[in-house]
Amino acid sequence: MMKKVGALMSMALLALTSCTKKSEHIAIGPEDYHNSVDKVTEVMIHDIFSPPVASRIYVYPNIAAYEIMAKKNQDYQSLSGQLRDLDAVPEPGNKEELNYELAALISHIDLSRRLIFSEDRINVYRDSLYRTWENTNEKEFNVSKAYGLEVAEHVALWMDKDNYKQTRTMPKFTVNSNEPSRWQPTPPSYMDGIEPHWNKIRPFVIDSSAQFKPAPPPPFSMEEGSDFFNEVKEVYDISNQITAEGDDSEEVEIAQFWDCNPYVSVTRGHLMFATKKITPGAHWIGIVKIASRKANSDFAKTVYAYTKTSIAIADAFISCWDEKYRSNLIRPETLINEHIDDSWEPILQTPPFPEYTSGHSVVSGAAATALTSVFGDDFAFDDDTEVPYGLPVRSFTSFKQAADEAAISRMYGGIHYRKAVEIGIKQGRDLGQFVVDNLSMESK
Amino acid sequence: MNKIIAALAIGFLLAGCKKGGELFDTLLPEKTGIDFVNSITETNDLSILDYLYFYNGGGVAVGDVNNDNLPDIFFSGNQVKNKLYLNKGDLKFEDITDSSGLEGNSSWNTGSVMADVNGDGWLDIYVCAVVGINGFDGYNELYINNQDGTFTESASKYGLDFDSYSSSAAFFDYDTDGDLDLYLLNHAVHTSGSFGKASLRTKRNYETGDKLLRNDNGKFKDVSEEAGIYGGINGYGLGVAVSDFNVDGYPDIYVGNDFHEDDYYYLNNGDGTFTESLRTYFGHTTRFSMGSDVADINHDGLPDLISLDMLPEEEVPLKASEGDEDIQIQQLRTQQYGYHYQFTRNMLYVNQPDGKFMETALLSGVAATDWSWATLFADYNQDGNQDLFVANGIPKRPNDLDFIKFVSSDQIQSKINNTRLVDQKAMDMMPSGVHHNYIFQGRDDLTFEDMSTNWMIPEKLISGASAYGDLDNDGDLDLVVNNLNAPPSIYVNKTNNKANFLKVKLRFKGKNPYGIGTKVYAYTDGTLQFKELFPARGFQASSEPIVHFGFRQKELVDSLKVVWPDRTCQTIKNVLVNQELTLEPKNTKSHSGVSSNKVATPLFKLTDGNLGLQYLHKEDNYLDFNREKLIPYKISDRGPAFAVGDLNLDGKDDILLGGSKFDPTKVFLQQDSIFVPQNFEAIRKDSIKEQVSAIIADFTGNNKNDIVLGAAGGDFYGRSKRLTETYLIQKDTAFTDGTFPELFQNTSVVKPCDYDGDGDLDLFVGGHAETGNFGKAVPSYLLKNEKGVFTIDDSFDKVNGMVTDAIWNDFDGDGQKDLIVVGEWMSPLFLRNNDGQFEEAFDLEVSGLWQIIHPFDIDADGDMDYLLGNWGTNNKFNASKKSPLRMYYHDFDGNGQTETVVAIPKNNKYYTLEGLDGLAGQMVFLKKNYTSYSSFAGKTVEEIFSKEQLEESTIWEVNTLASGYLKNADGTFTFVPFKNELQVAPIMAFASYDFDADNEREVLVGGNYFGVKPYHGRFDSFPGALINNEKNIILGNQLGLDFTQKSLRHLHVLEMGGQSYLLAIFNNANLEVYQIMNRQKER
């Protein structure tokens, strides 16, 4: 009996002490935001999202957080009216007690939760944070949470009209192997072409998915000496050359560093399993973190950098996928196996969608341009994004250099022809510049 | 660890053995003395990661090695030593491995078989091995029987000491020169990601390629190349079955290959060579082919075949495991890489008189026996029908989807790549594939009844190689199964004197004293039982070299005909049952050896020139499942349209054939003895539409025939003009467009009739579906003809559904033509015509996936019965009045696009046909609800969808899948299903005619259908049938017809120049013309 009373008393005491903490401010810094983004990346790897879908999962939560941040911080301007169909987010009711950073973070977590599959994994993370914040300052937490969720809801309503749901039930890509130039599923999983309707997703800044439509690839011809044949042959020759040099060759290292394939199917004996990595977009999101940290960016600038980069990436995927299913170009692996060497395998596993243009090239071009606009040119950094996946750190002198390397890595990897890489990175840079030029985010 | 598993298994046995099953007792090692355990030990260097067939198990061979008339048992172990047990009688066995010198020297043994290789009357033992990978050494060993209880390993002396990747072997006399030759079954181990072209099989590879070895006076010579045996790098040989499949006196070979490589069907040419003929005789095969067996299951004297795969029966492993491949990948694999159709389930191939196989596993009830290795046909209960035993199980299911997609990468992938150490904890996350073995009771109608939990104690074991023999000499067949990590199962048959048997031992001459290859035909009361002696059967095993029959309560076998391997035969009359009969050649006569599977006097014969009807229907490449991912079948492949009528005013019937999308409709004009194509501009310019139904008739009353074409195709949508019907009026000699209502549904059928009695032809237009909105009931219309102008009869609103066919027929005998409409997910609608007004006459409550209706007095009682083509029962659907098949139609995710979810009843619950990936591919919210496959597997429809979602759904039901007929008894109709041979595929066409000139009309039936996902397979093996009457139905393969591997749409009889012809019109294939060999019916 006595024990129970004692327990009750101590609980009451605890409650009291937590109440007395009322005045303590919940401090939210850039690291909290990095953690939230990392958490989303982690769940995305588990759930397996294709690169275009992954770009969508990054961008909306960032925009929600940015809009809240820009409400407070006069250095930044709202994106409403700048991003297609985005209306101004609601005004906060209780401005005095609102912690804008906290609200921004909460809205980021909440929207992310809606976008991934395994909600439990986000919920566990969120609930532990909520408990800490609630214990620190219940009032501030409740006010910020209410506003964060309100903005998340506002952005979600806008997001739900981006045609994503509709594209889920649109027709699958129809394989037609009678057309020699047309893309075909590739070994070992022979997966369906993913996201054939991604060009119907509402873009953010660009006018339409076709605004940065690249020049077409060289006309298909497997006649020796034709431009196209030479491109196929070049992939084969480079691959053989660097394979001969061994796994330690710079080119193989570059190819593997930028693989960024979320689902590589592996067969070993009777077992099948997947090695999973982050997507190309996620790699650049990782670079945002590296750059923000290196530049000692505050919370506001960190959110700004993530938002701008993820917008450029999202539009880049829309633009790139528009071209992929326009040209429907066959992958080097299919042609080399058919015409040159039936046992040839690319260094990287061929991803399940048409070849032209290279997604990683377009996205890297766009992301690097956005990052340059935030952190400046000649921003040197050590890229350790891929360390958790068993890959080394690589150092770059600028975002542009990193993007160039990411692009050429696809040729080394044996999954793209040269034109897809060269024209792809230009497509990405042009698009990135357009995004940078058309978005007024920093108040000048 | 293994000891613990073994101990556990023994514990289970002890607990379960007290009662035994109804037919079999399971004997324990303590009783039998058989204490062999094929324990396998995983190490860092050797596991399923290193060797893909790590779990395939050892071998077993049953035979009397010391000629004391008691069958002995040899087991091969993978890593443990082999063992030979001498049968001491009374089911006691003595381990004589040490004294006999049989323990073996290879690192990894696989199949083992007994055969009298040197022909001295004593059984020798051949033990296969995997050598040259994973540090395995040794070679295939041949133990020659010294006739004194010892054996001498003599493989190199005989030229059989192969150091390759062998699975099993079969000794038989392929060249009928009197000695035993060898087919050596090998398997590939490479795991390259790409399929590679099918032609890889022609490049020989020593380690992986199968071999045919000819016995040249005791020295075996590799004759694979010259004999036409494939031996490539892509042959994953796991099953070999030897039988004289085409009964021409020369043994043939069926080889089951795992993974994407096709199975091989080698027909013996009788000149020392074989012709691989899979595609000609098999429409499709097992995909992950494992063991196989052969027996005549339907008493027709033709060997039938079963090949095993790994489809689970229960919902949880079914939905948690990888299923069949995507339809587009299958197209790529078959069209681009050159492989045949393969599907993940057991296949039962019933041998037909034309040498082709009717595949009936789903209908027969033996399609899903989980991860299955070995199978043995035998008459275990001695009732005269072949029963079926299946041994199965795998320690870990490598095809578990959670493991493939989630667990593996998180838990073990880095370990595999970095240290190659497989963490036991991670391996444990692969679910166990332990499952009880199956035994089925064979019945008379091609079906088998699952008696697994009745006949035996259902033990959870990893079972593999199996063999039968009469271990206790009581006349019935006992089973011996080599298990993994547990003692072998010894199933002792308790039939004893409950039913009669005959056990035949053969004493043949020369180097084949056991008479391998002998055929025995037993006749009782006109029923034939047919057996061949090929002891190597099942999987990595050989059974006792005896021929065993069951005769129920019959006391006497009317006659026993023995056909010896040298194609001589003898007949013994009035043989007493319940005896062991030893037969040797005596008073033999020469046996023709001529294949019995040729139709001597066919009723139908393909014409040479097709009467000039050179018509290829080419389906366009639109794939319904790309747009509507969940629909149960295609709607885009219902063409071509077909109509007959005089189009050029010469009094001769011409022929019109519709084209698929972008392919023009074609017209052939009848000349004196031939048809010639004729181009009509009005028809040709209409080429964009896909036309599936056509009528040639005079609608305008100018005595010139007009044309109506019904449009469908499932691709054009909305209010596309391409979906509207075409109406062409013939004026002078040209056709012009007439007035016709615009109907935008996919039309299935157009049928003319003057239903309002005003002297002109009106029309019924059947609606099948709305493009992109499958599951929505669409209206069918009556169109009134007024002076050649058609308008919708608004008073008619009786038909809303998915109509496929209709006829005008006076079913109530009031002199007015009534309308009978059939369709999918609906009951036949009998609409009584009352002066142009229609009312439903009765409610039949036989909802089906009806394809076609045809009036025919099948019971010859003078009133009209109606034949109905349905989906058949040889598919994964499942329906009864009590538990109908269901289809839920609703916009489940509220995105403006409707979905259909098909659910089948199983144990009184409803489960979706589609797995999580299929459903979530269309309804993303399911991905959020089920983040793992195991959380989804085993969930019912009610659990997957909310109450509201289901309540808001339209629910379509089917309670009958069988084709059959509505039998008319004084105006009351009762549905009677056809026999099972007519249920193997959807029936798509009927035609009445006096085909055999007996002055009575018969009905010819045809079908087959391919518009389904690989989940269902291909309904390709219905050979057609001629229905004389209720009792007399003859399959088309006995009449000279060949309708297999083609999907029939129309049958039509044409009389021309004093001859009768049958036109067979197929979807996506050439039109075929048979001449009807109009002869008086025999008998």
Asked if the Cβ–Cβ distance from B52 to A269 is below 8 Å, we say yes
Q: Which positions in chain B touch A272 (Cβ < 8 Å)?
A: 322, 398-399, 404
Give the whole-number percent of chain A exceeding pLDDT 70. 94
Q: Which positions in chain B touch A162 (Cβ < 8 Å)?
A: none
Cβ atoms of B158 and B117 closer than 8 Å:
yes
B17 vs B904, which has greater pLDDT?
B904
Closest-CA residue of chain A to B891: A169
Closest-CA residue of chain B to A272: B404
Closest-CA residue of chain B to A184: B332
Question: Considering CB atoms only, which of B49, B52, B194 is closest to A188?
Answer: B194
A272 and A132 fall within a common domain: no
Q: Which positions in chain A touch B52 (Cβ < 8 Å)?
A: 269-270
A159 and A211 fall within a common domain: no
Cβ atoms of B933 and B401 closer than 8 Å:
yes
Nearest Cα neighbor of A312 from A366, A349, A351, A364 is A366
Is A124 exposed, middle or buried (CB count within 10 Å of its CB: 0-12, 13-18, 19+)? exposed
The DSSP string of B833-847 is: EETTEEEE-------
Nearest Cα neighbor of B838 from B899, B776, B753, B749 is B753
Is B784 exposed, middle or buried (CB count within 10 Å of its CB: 0-12, 13-18, 19+)? buried
Average pLDDT over residues B717-737: 93
Give the whole-number percent of chain B exceeding pLDDT 70. 95
Domain end, chosen from A165, A197, A218, is at A165
| A55/A34 Cα distance (integer angstroms) | 17
Q: pLDDT by residue (tens digit) across A347-376?
A: 999 999 999 999 999 999 999 999 999 999
| Total beta-carbon pairs less than 8 A apart between chain A and chain B | 124
Please say if the pLDDT value at position B18 is more than 50.
no
Q: pLDDT by residue (tens digit) across A84-104?
A: 999 999 999 999 999 999 999
- Specify the pLDDT at position A315: 98
Convert B159-191 into a string of H (helix), E (strand) and C (coil).
CCCCCCEEEEEEEECCCCCCCCEEEEEEECCCC
Asked if the Cβ–Cβ distance from B54 to A267 is below 8 Å, we say no
Closest-CA residue of chain A to B922: A169
Cβ atoms of B330 and B284 closer than 8 Å:
no
A129 and A229 fall within a common domain: no
Parallel, antiparallel, or unpaired: how do β-strands B848-849 and B219-222 relate? unpaired
In a domain, A21, yes or no: no
- Specify the pLDDT at position A270: 63
In a domain, A402, yes or no: yes
Look up residue B983 and give its two tokens: 């249920």
With bands split at pLDDT 50, 70 and 90, how would you rate the model's confidence at B593?
low
Instruction: Write the CATH number for A352.
Output: 1.10.606.20
Cα angle value A317/A217/A195 (rounded, 5°): 30
Q: pLDDT by residue (tens digit) across B237-276?
A: 999 999 999 999 999 999 999 999 999 999 999 999 999 9
A330 min Cα distance to partner chain B (Å): 14
Q: Which helix (H) or strand (E) holds B818?
A: strand B818-826
Nearest Cα neighbor of B923 from B956, B952, B945, B954 is B945
Q: DSSP label at A389?
A: G
Domain end, chosen from A165, A197, A225, is at A165
Q: Which positions in chain A touch B627 (Cβ < 8 Å)?
A: 170-172
- Specify the pLDDT at position A4: 47
A146 and A234 fall within a common domain: no
Question: Considering CB atoms only, which of B335, B398, B895 is closest to A168?
Answer: B895
Q: DSSP label at B115?
A: E
Q: Give the list of residues 6+ apart from residue B490 with CB closer than 8 angstroms, or none.
A: B26, B27, B32, B34, B91, B471, B478, B479, B480
| B198/A176 Cα distance (integer angstroms) | 20
Range of the domain at A324: 207-438
Greatest alpha-carbon span in chain B: 100
Q: Number of C-alpha atoms within 13 angstroms, CB side, residue B810?
A: 9
| B70/B89 Cα distance (integer angstroms) | 7
With bands split at pLDDT 50, 70 and 90, how would you rate the model's confidence at A392?
very high
A268 and A324 fall within a common domain: yes
Domain end, chosen from A165, A198, A219, is at A165
Q: Where are the beta strands (DSSP E) in B994-1035?
A: 1002-1007, 1025-1027, 1033-1035
Q: Which positions in chain A touch B893 (Cβ < 8 Å)?
A: 165, 168-169
| B296/B596 Cα distance (integer angstroms) | 14
To test the contact with chain A by mutation, choose from B202, B403, B408, B622 the residue with the greatest count of A C-beta atoms within 10 A, namely B408
Q: Give the list of residues 6+ apart from residue B148 with CB closer than 8 angstroms, or none.
A: none
Question: Considering CB atoms only, which of A185, A268, A337 is closest to B49?
Answer: A268
Look up residue B924 and give its two tokens: 């993303």
Asked if the Cβ–Cβ distance from A273 to B408 is below 8 Å, we say yes
Closest-CA residue of chain A to B403: A273
- Other Cβ atoms less than 10 A from the Cβ of B707: the count is 27
| B862/A134 Cα distance (integer angstroms) | 87
A376 min Cα distance to partner chain B (Å): 37
A262 and A406 fall within a common domain: yes
Q: Give the list of residues 6+ apart from residue B1075 with CB closer than 8 angstroms, or none.
A: B604, B605, B606, B607, B1059, B1060, B1061, B1062
Asked if the Cβ–Cβ distance from B398 to A270 is below 8 Å, we say yes
Question: Considering CB atoms only, which of B197, B409, B927 is closest to A117?
Answer: B927
Is B520 exposed, middle or buried (CB count within 10 Å of its CB: 0-12, 13-18, 19+)? buried
Q: Which helix (H) or strand (E) holds B549?
A: strand B547-550
- Cis upstream peptide for A307 (omega within 30°): no
Residues in chain A: 444
Cβ atoms of B239 and B208 closer than 8 Å:
no
Q: Give the torsion sign (CA, B581, B585, B589, B592).
A: positive
A257 and A377 fall within a common domain: yes
Tell me chain B's radius of gyration from C-alpha atoms. 31
Question: Considering CB atoms only, which of B51, B332, B414 is closest to A269?
Answer: B51
Q: Which positions in chain A touch B47 (Cβ < 8 Å)?
A: 269
Question: Considering CB atoms only, which of A169, A184, A275 is closest to B922?
Answer: A169
Q: How many domains are contained in chain A?
A: 2
B416 min Cα distance to partner chain A (Å): 9
Cβ atoms of B113 and B535 closer than 8 Å:
yes
| B27/B91 Cα distance (integer angstroms) | 9
In sequence order, which ranges of B109-241 are alpha helices (DSSP H)?
Answer: 155-158, 224-227
- Specify the pLDDT at position A58: 98
Average pLDDT over residues A400-429: 98
Question: Considering CB atoms only, which of B195, B398, B625 is closest to A272?
Answer: B398
Please say if the pLDDT value at position B418 is more than 80.
no
The mean pLDDT value of chain B amounts to 94
Question: Considering CB atoms only, which of B50, B398, B621 is closest to A176?
Answer: B621
Question: Considering CB atoms only, which of B405, B893, B922 is closest to A48?
Answer: B405
A192 min Cα distance to partner chain B (Å): 8
| B765/B769 Cα distance (integer angstroms) | 12
Give the whole-number percent of chain B exceeding pLDDT 90. 89
Q: pLDDT by residue (tens digit) across B748-789?
A: 999 999 999 999 999 999 999 999 999 999 999 999 999 999
Taking the whole predicted model, whether its pTM rises above 0.90 is answered as: yes
Q: Which positions in chain B touch A343 (Cβ < 8 Å)?
A: 192
- Specify the pLDDT at position B403: 85
Q: Which positions in chain A touch B50 (Cβ < 8 Å)?
A: 269
With bands split at pLDDT 50, 70 and 90, how would you rate the model's confidence at B600?
low
**How many Å from the N-terminal Cα to the C-terminal Cα in chain B?**
69
- Specify the pLDDT at position B50: 80
Q: How much is the ipTM here?
A: 0.89
Look up residue B301 and give its two tokens: 């004297």
A213 and A328 fall within a common domain: yes
Q: Which amino acid is at A342?
A: D
In a domain, A12, yes or no: no
| A322/A332 Cα distance (integer angstroms) | 20
Q: Which positions in chain B touch A189 (Cβ < 8 Å)?
A: 193
Asked if the Cβ–Cβ distance from A269 to B625 is below 8 Å, we say no
A152 and A219 fall within a common domain: no
3-class secondary structure, A72: helix
Nearest Cα neighbor of B511 from B250, B214, B224 is B214
**How many Å from the N-terminal Cα to the C-terminal Cα in chain A?**
68
Asked if the Cβ–Cβ distance from A118 to B931 is below 8 Å, we say yes
Cβ atoms of A396 and A409 closer than 8 Å:
no
Please say if the pLDDT value at position B162 is more than 70.
yes
Asked if the Cβ–Cβ distance from B623 to A174 is below 8 Å, we say yes
B927 min Cα distance to partner chain A (Å): 6
Q: Give the list of residues 6+ apart from residue B394 with CB closer than 8 angstroms, or none.
A: B55, B371, B433, B434, B462
In a domain, A179, yes or no: no
In a domain, A201, yes or no: no
| B1008/B1022 Cα distance (integer angstroms) | 6
Question: Considering CB atoms only, which of B50, B196, B332 is closest to A190?
Answer: B332
Asked if the Cβ–Cβ distance from B326 to A47 is below 8 Å, we say no
Average pLDDT over residues B551-557: 96
A398 and A288 fall within a common domain: yes
Closest-CA residue of chain A to B407: A273
Q: Number of C-alpha atoms within 13 angstroms, CB side, residue B437?
A: 31
B716 min Cα distance to partner chain A (Å): 13
Asked if the Cβ–Cβ distance from B336 to A120 is below 8 Å, we say no
Q: Which positions in chain A touch B327 (Cβ < 8 Å)?
A: none
Interaxial angle between packed helices A299-327 and A418-438, expressed in degrees from 0 to 180 and rounded to the nearest 10 = 140
Q: Which positions in chain A touch B322 (Cβ < 8 Å)?
A: 272
To test the contact with chain A by mutation, choose from B626, B627, B771, B891 the residue with the greatest count of A C-beta atoms within 10 A, namely B626
Closest-CA residue of chain A to B899: A169
Average pLDDT over residues A239-252: 90
Q: pLDDT by residue (tens digit) across A61-91?
A: 999 999 999 999 999 999 999 999 999 999 9
A251 and A313 fall within a common domain: yes
Asked if the Cβ–Cβ distance from B53 to A120 is below 8 Å, we say no
A89 and A228 fall within a common domain: no
Q: Which helix (H) or strand (E) holds B764?
A: strand B762-769
Cβ atoms of B806 and B829 closer than 8 Å:
no
Q: Which amino acid is at B7?
A: A
Q: Which positions in chain B touch A390 (Cβ < 8 Å)?
A: 414, 417-418
In sequence order, which ranges of B670-823 are alpha helices (DSSP H)?
Answer: 681-684
- Specify the pLDDT at position B420: 44
Nearest Cα neighbor of B193 from A148, A346, A75, A364 is A346
A171 min Cα distance to partner chain B (Å): 4
Asked if the Cβ–Cβ distance from B413 to A266 is below 8 Å, we say yes
Q: Which positions in chain A touch B897 (Cβ < 8 Å)?
A: 166, 169
Q: Give the list of residues 6+ apart from residue A91 with CB closer than 8 angstroms, or none.
A: A71
Cβ atoms of A288 and A306 closer than 8 Å:
yes
Asked if the Cβ–Cβ distance from B626 to A265 is below 8 Å, we say no
Q: Which positions in chain A touch B234 (Cβ < 8 Å)?
A: none
Average pLDDT over residues B513-522: 98
